[in-house]
Structure formats: structure tokens, C-alpha cells
Amino acid sequence: MRTRTLAAALAVATAAAGLSLALAPTASAATSVPDDFNGDGVADLVVATPHAPVDGRVNAGSVSVLYGSPDGVSPGRSTTLTQNSPGVPGDAGSHSLFGATHASGDLDADGYADLVVGAPGEAVRYSGGYGTLTVLWGGPSGLTGDGISMVSPYAANEWMSEEDYGKKVVVADLDGDGVPQIATLSRTNLWAYDDLAGRTAPTDVARFYNYNAYIQPRTLTTADFTGAGRAQLVVTGGENCGGTTGGCQHTAVYTWSDSGLQEAWLPDPGDVSGTNEAPTVSTAAGDVDGDGYADLVTGHVPASATTTGEYSDAAGFVHVRYGSADGLGAHRTATLDAPGGRAGDNVGASVAVGDVTGDGYADVVAGAPGATVRGVPGTGAAVLLRGSATGLTETDAQVVHQATDGVPGTAETDDWFGSAVDLTDLDGDGMADVTIAAKGEDVLAGSVRDGADWVLRGSAAGLTTAGATSFSAQDVGLTAPDAEFGSVLGG
Ligand SMILES: [Ca+2]
Ligand SMILES: [Ca+2]
Ligand SMILES: [Ca+2]
Ligand SMILES: [Ca+2]
């Protein structure tokens, strides 16, 4: 959805500037659906399980692609790949965390979307470095395992070391030539690559930004926030202040230029009361007010001194910085509480942006994995906040959870429904469908973190339970308990 919004913004921007003929011809050769791996015109869903064991290696990781269709997705039309699958580069290793992040786009401009998968814990042979990216090529049969592997430029430098390369990844057209590129975060660096030259791994990075010891980059997002006809990168993370590691928040926008990545800092929204800085725990982008500029949506859960379990005891909130020609958030920002939000909800622990209702305004789904439902703590919920001409609104917000009529499953303690969310049009009807992960869902006897995913379809009225489906590890042939199946739905 992110790239489609970018394309819409690009169309508006170029129409306004009379530049429609200046677009690179390669753009028309690329697929029009950024996550359509088998080229049938319907987007596909990737759910990743970085904690999946593979052939006895713990936390090696797997990714599952479920192919979209007019009937939506089904595990019966899926492929699950690990680093031990035929063709996939590398070998499954303990704690590689293959699938900790993923992003897609047509990197080789053959009309089929390609999947980039991060394995930030993978040891790089003959190097002190950790972390790889794997590019899996799409084709008529979808993802088959055919791919290439990438490592940090520092992995080949005896004087440098790298940690967590590939912990976040995005695919976007950063230089405005119509072909998307890869950008990725490590523990201390942001790397942005040039267009791939065919199906070979890049030998050098085009642009990078190095963080000093005072900033800990955490999230990476991309979209065209300024109507420039190219995407910018947004990185958020903790920043040391007052003697506290990560006590303040850092948000920076990077624009690709001939001289490197140009950086601009943005103010942190703080928490709802405006007294403390609230960590940015999730990010997504899309045009929620339909003005042609992508908007940045961030989820914030204030840290809590009384947190004892998986989630904070804070309510959480969602913040919007509206895009404009003058820069992201230059003219307008907004903070939204989920209606009825309560302490411990953790609303904004996850966010996704997409047009659920098909009215041309992107909507937001925010996960609230800590929410208490009908007296059961930690059940979790997801909230639909609607886009409109005046921006994102709490009006007619819709809450769904496992106790909602028509949603499969049972609301249980610490299911954490909403631990991750994604919005992609998986049935091709023009309305984005939500995928909701519950990483604490227990499926097998005696386990507590088997994990599962739900898909609820978009409709003109909002999310509908008609055609709702859910699936877990066993449905795609995985058998290990407590692996948090499908807990990663994107970046
Ligand atoms: Ca497809
Ligand atoms: Ca491709
Ligand atoms: Ca906008
Ligand atoms: Ca749909």
C-alpha cells in the first residue's frame, strides 16, 4: 500500500508540474502491484516467523507467502521458505532471525514483485559482522527460493564491524528514476543502495548515514512525503539525554541527493499530556487526507516504571505528521487517542496504513495488544481510524477483537491480538484488507506463544467479518511450539 500511495502522490505531483513525460520508461515495465510476487494482479501476503526453529537450529526463522485471489488468502495457496529451502542463499543458523523484517518491490523490473528478507542475527562468514539481507525473486510461480544474499559493506572491511545489519528494510524509489531501491538499518548505520544492476548483489552502497553512540535507530519507513517524485526515508529511535540511554526520542527524515543523504530532524510529539517523550514503537505511511502527499503515522507507547510483562501499562497513542511540499509535518500534526482507550492497551504498538473503505483516503489500523476485552487482560484488539479530507479522525472508529462476532478464535489472556498489523488488498477489490497477528495465541497443548494471524476484509463500511479467516503454523506445515508464528508482517 505504501508504494501505491507513493505512485498516487507521484501522479498528482507530476500532473501538477506537467512532467508526466519525464518519467523513466522502466516504470511502466514494472509491476503495478508492489507485493504481487506471482504477477496475477492481486497482492500477496507475507507473514514471517523469525523465531521458527529450522532443522534443529533455534530462532533460525522462516517466511510464508500466501497468494492473494478474488477469494482472499488461504494457507492452501502458500509457500514457506527458510534458508535451508532449495535455492535460498545461505544456511539456516541458530539465532539468525530470518524474517525479522521484510519488504517488497520489483527490484529487477521484470513485472514480478521481489521480497527482501532481513536476518539480522546471521553470522557473516570470515567476518566479524552479523546480519544479511536475502532478495527472493518473484516469477509466474511466485517465490520459489531463487535469490541472492547481501551483507553489510563493513563485513568486508577488516577495520570495521557491523551488528544487526538488516534489522529493518524498505524498498522504495529513492532517486526518482522509477526503479525501487533497498534501504536497511543496522545497529549503527542506515544504508541506502542504488538500483540493482540485474540479479546481482550490489558491491557497494550508494549512500549511508552513521549514528553516533547517542542514537539507537529503531524504525525505518519510506514514502514520498513532499511530492518530490521520490521517496524519503524516516528513521526513529532512542536518543540519550539526561544521563539516560534512549531517554529522549530521535526522528529524522533523509532525502537522497548527489552528495549523500540529506538529514532533517523532526520534533517528537511527546506523550498525550505533553510531559514526557514517548518512544516511537511503530511507523507506517500513506495519504490519510488525500492531498497527494504521503503522511507519516507513528505509534507511541510511553515507557512505564511499573511494566512487568510483555507490554507497558500505558494506553498509547497514534501521531500523524502530514506531508507537504515544505516537508513532513511542516504545517500540520495531530495526536489521536483511541476512543475508550485505557491504561495498558498499548494502542499504537503496531500501525498500518491503507484504504480500507475504498473512498480514496487511506485509513489506519492500530494494534492494541495489551487491551483487556470483556475482563480478560492482554487479549488485545485492533482499532480502525478513518482517513478523511480533514485528516485522520477518531469519528466512527471501529474496534475488532477475538470476541467480536464473526472473528474466529477465543479471547484469552495474553493472546496479544494486534501485536502486528498489515493493510494490503488481498482480494483485489480495491479495498485494503487487514492482517492482524496475535503472537501470544496458544494453539498447541502446553505452549503459550504459538502465534496466529487473522485476515478481515475491507468494505465501504469498514472492516467486515464476512470472509474472515485465521491460520497458524500448522496450516503452513510448521510444527514447533512457541515460535510466535506470523508475528512479523512487514518492517
Ligand atoms: Ca499475486
Ligand atoms: Ca521482479
Ligand atoms: Ca496527505
Ligand atoms: Ca480487499
Q: Calculate mean pLDDT across residues 129-137.
A: 96
pLDDT at 123 over 50: yes
Looking at the chain, the whole-number percentage of residues with pLDDT higher than 90 is 77
Q: So what's the pLDDT on residue 275?
A: 55
pLDDT at 36 over 90: yes
Confidence of residue 274 (pLDDT cuts 50, 70, 90): low
Q: Calculate mean pLDDT across residues 360-373.
A: 97
In this structure, which ligand is nearest to the CA of 30?
Answer: 2
Confidence of residue 483 (pLDDT cuts 50, 70, 90): very high
Higher pLDDT, 9 or 185: 185
Q: Calculate mean pLDDT across residues 33-38.
A: 92
Q: What is the dihedral of CA 27, 457, 79, 283, to 10 degrees?
A: 60
Q: So what's the pLDDT on residue 71?
A: 97
Q: So what's the pLDDT on residue 272?
A: 57
CA 102, 408, 368, 385 dihedral sign is positive
Cell output for 292: 497527494
Give me the residue label for grid cell 470472509: 467
Upper half-sphere CA count for residue 135 (Cβ side, 13 Å): 25
Q: So what's the pLDDT on residue 13?
A: 34
CA of 66 to the centre of ligand 1 (A): 9
In this structure, which ligand is nearest to the CA of 331?
Answer: 3
Helix (H) / strand (E) element for 6: namely: helix 2-17
Q: Calculate mean pLDDT across residues 138-166.
A: 92
Report if pTM > 0.75.
yes
Average pLDDT, the chain: 90
pLDDT at 101 over 90: yes
Confidence of residue 137 (pLDDT cuts 50, 70, 90): very high
CA of 46 to the centre of ligand 3 (A): 27
Residue (of 319, 335, 469, 340) closest to 398 by Cα position:
340
In this structure, which ligand is nearest to the CA of 334?
Answer: 3
Helix (H) / strand (E) element for 16: namely: helix 2-17
Higher pLDDT, 355 or 306: 355
Q: Calculate mean pLDDT across residues 418-439.
A: 98
pLDDT at 339 over 80: no
Distance CA 91, CA 94 (A): 10
Distances in Å between the Cα of 209 and the Cα atoms of 96, 186, 234 are: 24, 11, 12
CA of 147 to the centre of ligand 1 (A): 18
In this structure, which ligand is nearest to the CA of 325?
Answer: 3
Confidence of residue 10 (pLDDT cuts 50, 70, 90): very low
In this structure, which ligand is nearest to the CA of 115?
Answer: 2
Q: Calculate mean pLDDT across residues 162-184.
A: 96
Distance CA 162, CA 10 (A): 35
pLDDT at 386 over 80: yes
CA of 427 to the centre of ligand 4 (A): 5
pLDDT at 340 over 80: no
